[in-house]
A and B are shown apart, each in its own frame.
Chain A
Amino acid sequence: MRRDRAGVLLALPTWATLGVFFLLPLAILFVVSFARRDTYGGLKPIGDLGAYLASGKFLEHYARSLHPIYLKIFWRSLWMAVVTTLVCLVVSFPAAYYIAVVARARRRPLLLGLVVVPFWTSFLIRTYAWMFILRTEGLVNHALLAAGLVHRPLELLYNDFAVLIGLIYGELPFMILPLYASLEKLDRSLLEASADLGAPRAATLRRVTVPMTMPGIVAGIVLVFVPSLGQFIVSDLLGGAKTILAGNLIQNQFAIARNKPFGAAVAFELTAAVLLLLWAYARYTRRRGEDVLL
């Protein structure tokens, strides 16, 4: 009994914070997504709630979000998030493997520090830095021209490529860290046993290392995929006007188009998609957990 009460007390700050800063705004967003917008960007008062609900007009923003032009934006957000996640996974696995398994134990804190060090600078500033690297008079083009590899500067900025670079760059640490955590826990003698039984390195990777670090891989995928889906700074700065993502669409509704209900509806759809994904992830880990316990 006492333990239960202590548990409730300990969880209270978390629940209070989540309630005030997450659940409450989400609830407001949810209500707003069914509201009407007035001419000046505010919310139009609804006189007869019963009639409003009966008319079905409260769903107009959700209906609008299914318009092909928005579906195209969602589709673009989705594949960019997928590509970002895949590239991060492919790049991070060797890096995390090196830090966790190959590097000497006393070098590990330094290498992990290098992964985390970009967080000391604001993400906005780091994204601006990419503009300096990628623009026509930027570092990359200067180097390519100086080396005589190209005669005209390449258009590296303000396209999907630049946005992907920015997304991958920004999300990379969120893939490396969970992969590191699970690789570090991996029992080395399992790798030795695999080699001892005749498996070449690639086979050990495929049959032992990857299956054994699956929880880390899944965690990394979730940690990278979810924020990529809602990103708007990167596409705003590096994508120019051409590359609009779901994140930009939402931001535009609130900041420029002044259509809060529509922005809220899209934001809520995105949140629902992410929650669905997290639910699937929780189910996956629970199933694995049961496997381990049995």
Chain B
Amino acid sequence: MSTVSAVEIRGLTKRFGDVAAVDAVTLDIRAGEFFSLLGPSGCGKTTLLRMIGGFELPTAGSIRIHGEDVTRTAPYGRPVNMVFQHYALFPHLSVGENVAFGMRYHGVPRGDEPRRVAAALALVQLTGYESRRPDQLSGGQRQRVALARALALEPEVLLLDEPLGALDQKLRKEVQVQLKQLQRSLGITFVFVTHDQEEALTMSDRIAVMNRGRVEQLDEAARVFERPATEFVATFMGASNFFDVFVRGGDAASVSIELPGGAAARLPREGREWNAGERLRFVVRPEKLDLRTHDLSTRGVPSVPVTVEDRVYQGVGTVWLVRGPGGEAFSVYEQNERPDEGARFAAGARAFLCFRTRDAILLSTAGDR
């Protein structure tokens, strides 16, 4: 993957009335990467994508695509194509006519159209579907026609606005893998909008997590998951166990803290200076927590005394809902390795929450930014 920028976004802002849907976003999308805009509904990810496509004009800021300023260029003048959320196939045209629709504007000779249409349909495994009508197709097939229609024009950047949202779970998983393979073999830059963190992780090279019109974190997919930079990102990526602790002191490599319940622990410092008495917040993913009957502090394993409240059986795993000494809510995910033998802990039982220090993710708290 080269590090040439396919899309350069600088200070991009879009206001609807008083609300900034996209608020001074600056980011670079590299040529040939699978880039995801991830966030909850209303975070501005779709508005950002629509500005790249030319369907919304920014209030401020600029967009460059392969070096060319397209901030105010009409959609039909941009070297990008979009796969719309509900596909936006032309219902009055056949599949073949849909795929051929834009070719005449891209200098494809009329005689070449059938061949190019067939090639695009082959790409999405719909060979021979030219004469079908969109309403004769299943949701998954329509999604593939929309993809073929956009790819047939060989765009430099392909924009995808939650294209899998209307598909059922099983089909979604299949299409995610196919889409990623397609992107890799074509080498086209994909900009993918989704609210599904798992989907983003499955497909993306890099992910920008958005919240309230801003990018909270832009990182490699695995880093966004394993090292969320903010509380919002951590929560959104499913890491819901927050620990608020006081700093006791520190040295070159670690920071020593007092855990809820009074036990001491040392966490990696992560390049920050910590002063005694300062508040620190860290998060541990549910699957990285361990629920034990005994306190492991003496063996150097951070342990927090908790009370078991409930148990949620989920088939593959079990989630324990527990409360810390200060009333903090934690959830612990456990793989169900043996046939279900009933609860290890009864409701109200005392237990200890243990974790490895390397699984504690230090967060920059809201006050730091």
B136 and A198 form a contact (CB under 8 A): no
Could you tell me the distance between the alpha carbons of A207 and B55 in the complex, rounded to whole angstroms?
19
A195 and B90 form a contact (CB under 8 A): no
B92 and A294 form a contact (CB under 8 A): no
Would you give the 0/1 interface string for A163-198, flagging 1 where the beta carbon is closer than 8 Å to chain B? 000000000000000000000000101101111111
A135 to chain B, nearest CB (A): 48
Which applies to chain A's interface (DSSP): helix, strand, loop or mixed? Answer: helix
A190 and B76 form a contact (CB under 8 A): no
Task: Name the interface size band of chain A.
Answer: 20 to 34
B82 and A193 form a contact (CB under 8 A): yes
B82 and A196 form a contact (CB under 8 A): yes
B84 and A192 form a contact (CB under 8 A): yes
**Residues in chain A near residue B153, CB distance under 8 A:** 197-198
- For B76, give its contact among A199, A208, A292 (CB under 8 Å): A199
A101 sits at the interface (CB 8 A): no
**Residues in chain A near residue B81, CB distance under 8 A:** 196-197
Could you tell me the distance between the alpha carbons of A294 and B133 in the complex, rounded to whole angstroms?
9
User: Nearest residue in B to A207 (C-beta to C-beta)?
Assistant: B101
B53 sits at the interface (CB 8 A): yes
Q: Most B CB atoms within 10 A — which of A197, A198, A292?
A: A197
User: Nearest residue in A to B102 (C-beta to C-beta)?
Assistant: A197
**Residues in chain B near residue A211, CB distance under 8 A:** 92
B287 sits at the interface (CB 8 A): no
B106 sits at the interface (CB 8 A): yes
**Residues in chain A near residue B86, CB distance under 8 A:** 189
A197 and B149 form a contact (CB under 8 A): yes
**Residues in chain A near residue B84, CB distance under 8 A:** 189, 192-193
User: Nearest residue in A to B104 (C-beta to C-beta)?
Assistant: A198
A156 to chain B, nearest CB (A): 43
B105 sits at the interface (CB 8 A): yes
B273 sits at the interface (CB 8 A): no
- For B105, give its contact among A192, A193, A197, A291 (CB under 8 Å): A197
A196 and B92 form a contact (CB under 8 A): no
B102 to chain A, nearest CB (A): 3
- For B90, give its contact among A196, A203, A208, A292 (CB under 8 Å): A208
Could you tell me the distance between the alpha carbons of A194 and B89 in the complex, rounded to whole angstroms?
10
Could you tell me the distance between the alpha carbons of A203 and B101 in the complex, rounded to whole angstroms?
11
A199 and B90 form a contact (CB under 8 A): no
Chain B residues within 8 Å of chain A by Cβ, number: 27
B65 to chain A, nearest CB (A): 14
A195 and B76 form a contact (CB under 8 A): yes
The total of interchain contacts (Cβ-Cβ below 8 angstroms) comes to 67
- For B101, give its contact among A189, A194, A212, A291 (CB under 8 Å): A194
A292 and B135 form a contact (CB under 8 A): yes
A198 and B88 form a contact (CB under 8 A): no
Interface positions of B from 201 to 226, Cβ below 8 Å from A: none
B14 to chain A, nearest CB (A): 16
A200 sits at the interface (CB 8 A): yes
B93 to chain A, nearest CB (A): 8
B61 sits at the interface (CB 8 A): no
Could you tell me the distance between the alpha carbons of A197 and B102 in the complex, rounded to whole angstroms?
5
User: Nearest residue in A to B74 (C-beta to C-beta)?
Assistant: A195
User: Nearest residue in B to A193 (C-beta to C-beta)?
Assistant: B88
Known contacts: A198-B153, A294-B135. The answer to whether A189 contacts B76 by CB under 8 A is no
A26 to chain B, nearest CB (A): 38
- For A199, give its contact among B53, B54, B91, B105 (CB under 8 Å): B105
B75 sits at the interface (CB 8 A): yes
- For B88, give its contact among A190, A200, A291 (CB under 8 Å): A190
B75 and A192 form a contact (CB under 8 A): yes
A198 and B76 form a contact (CB under 8 A): yes
**Residues in chain A near residue B89, CB distance under 8 A:** 193
A198 and B102 form a contact (CB under 8 A): yes
**Residues in chain A near residue B75, CB distance under 8 A:** 192, 195-196
User: Nearest residue in B to A293 (C-beta to C-beta)?
Assistant: B135
A203 to chain B, nearest CB (A): 8
B90 and A190 form a contact (CB under 8 A): yes
B224 to chain A, nearest CB (A): 29
Could you tell me the distance between the alpha carbons of A198 and B107 in the complex, rounded to whole angstroms?
11
B92 and A197 form a contact (CB under 8 A): no
A86 to chain B, nearest CB (A): 23
A192 and B55 form a contact (CB under 8 A): yes
**Residues in chain B near residue A193, CB distance under 8 A:** 82, 84, 88-90
User: Nearest residue in A to B50 (C-beta to C-beta)?
Assistant: A192
Interface positions of B from 76 to 99, Cβ below 8 Å from A: 76, 80-82, 84-86, 88-92
**Residues in chain A near residue B102, CB distance under 8 A:** 196-199
A187 and B136 form a contact (CB under 8 A): no
A198 and B90 form a contact (CB under 8 A): no
**Residues in chain B near residue A212, CB distance under 8 A:** 90-92
B18 to chain A, nearest CB (A): 17
User: Nearest residue in A to B53 (C-beta to C-beta)?
Assistant: A196
A-B residue pairs, 9 tightest by C-beta: A197-B102, A198-B105, A193-B88, A195-B75, A189-B88, A198-B102, A198-B76, A196-B82, A211-B92
List chain B positions with a Cβ less than 8 A from chain A: 53-55, 74-76, 80-82, 84-86, 88-92, 101-102, 105-106, 133, 135-136, 149-150, 153
List chain A positions with a Cβ less than 8 A from chain B: 187, 189-190, 192-200, 203, 207-208, 211-212, 291-292, 294
Question: 25 pairs across A/B with beta carbons < 8 Å?
Answer: A187-B88, A192-B53, A192-B82, A192-B84, A193-B82, A193-B89, A193-B90, A195-B74, A196-B54, A196-B55, A196-B76, A196-B102, A197-B81, A197-B105, A197-B150, A197-B153, A198-B76, A198-B102, A199-B105, A200-B105, A203-B105, A207-B101, A212-B90, A292-B91, A292-B135
